[in-house]
Amino acid sequence: MEQFLDANRLHWNELTPINRRSNFYGVEGFRAGQSTLTWVELDGLGDVSGKSLLHLQCHFGLDTLSWARLGARVTGVDFSEEAIALARSLALELEIQADFIHSNLYSLPDLLTGEFDIVFTSYGVLSWLPNLEAWARVISHFLKPGGTFYMAEFHPFAWVFDDANETELKVKYPYFHSPEPLRIEPDGSGSYADPTATITTPTFEWSHSLGDIFNSLISAEMRIDEFLEYSHTVYRQFPFLEHGPDGHWRLQDDDGGIPLMFSLKATK
């Protein structure tokens, strides 16, 4: 698996400066005081003031730093050295107290000690992980007894559809997990944050069903307290989604036909 994870790390190193410049991430707005958190995460976790929070797969840390602005004592982790360097730079520039660690998620117990009140992760994280049982063990390892794991993520059912189809939902990708990843080559369509960007690195991604997610957390001795599904999403996952005044993307008429996103809360 190391060769796949390393290839993905190089991909995210390539994406970091592209995402930094993009309107999608809104770095200048964040500098001016805006938060990158949505009402889903804010409602899900509530008041985080004074709590220790570990953010797994944090990219370059805008959500991590947004939690810090709300009073959490934050630590962000990502396997991209370029992303972590940018996160540290932003924290220093904006005088936000935050720790950032460059680490493969699975290696984190070798590099970080201590337990946290909250472990958090969100949006586009699971497809980069080959093994969810090991992922859940890392989460449990860092949670205090009684601590909260919270995630908001794109719904695995929505991932089966072709995200390049211009007119309709058409099944293209598997729903169930396979140990062998899907290899996805750059196709000239840019990135999710900037369709004009030039991308040169392939990615290796894994599907995970809802059953995989639930059972991995249960096997790591966590209790699932809440699971919510949403008919909106936070980016234009399909070309025909409509952008609402609240900033979210939905199917036409928002008929709730399929779930595009979910959130989950669990307790150790």
Domain CATH number, residue 102: 3.40.50.150
The whole-angstrom separation of Cα 147 and Cα 103 is 22
Average pLDDT score over residue span 69-85 = 98
Band of residue 212 on the pLDDT scale cut at 50, 70, 90: very high
pLDDT over threshold 90, residue 209: yes
The token pair at 4 is 């796949």
Q: What value does the mean pLDDT take over residues 22-26?
A: 95
The reported pLDDT for the residue numbered 71 is: 98
Domain with 65 in it: 2-267
Q: Sorting pLDDT into bands at 50, 70 and 90, what band is 255?
A: low
Report the pLDDT averaged over residues 85-112: 98
- Give, for 136, the enclosing helix (H) or strand (E): helix 132-142
Digit-coded pLDDT (tens) for 54-66: 999 999 999 999 9
Read off the pLDDT of each residue in 171-177 and give the average, rounded to a whole number.
Answer: 96
Rounded to whole angstroms, the Cα distance separating 69 from 25 reads 17
What pLDDT is recorded for position 254? 64
pLDDT at 117 over 90: yes
* Count of domains for the chain: 1
pLDDT digits (tens, 9 = 90+) for 149-171: 999 999 999 999 998 888 889 99
CB within 8 Å of 89: residues ≥ 6 apart: none
Pair type for strands 52-56 and 116-122: parallel
Q: What percent of the chain has pLDDT over 70?
A: 99
Q: Check residue 57 and give its pLDDT.
A: 98
Which of 94, 93, 41 has its CA nearest to residue 67? 41
* 256 pLDDT tier (thresholds 50, 70, 90): low
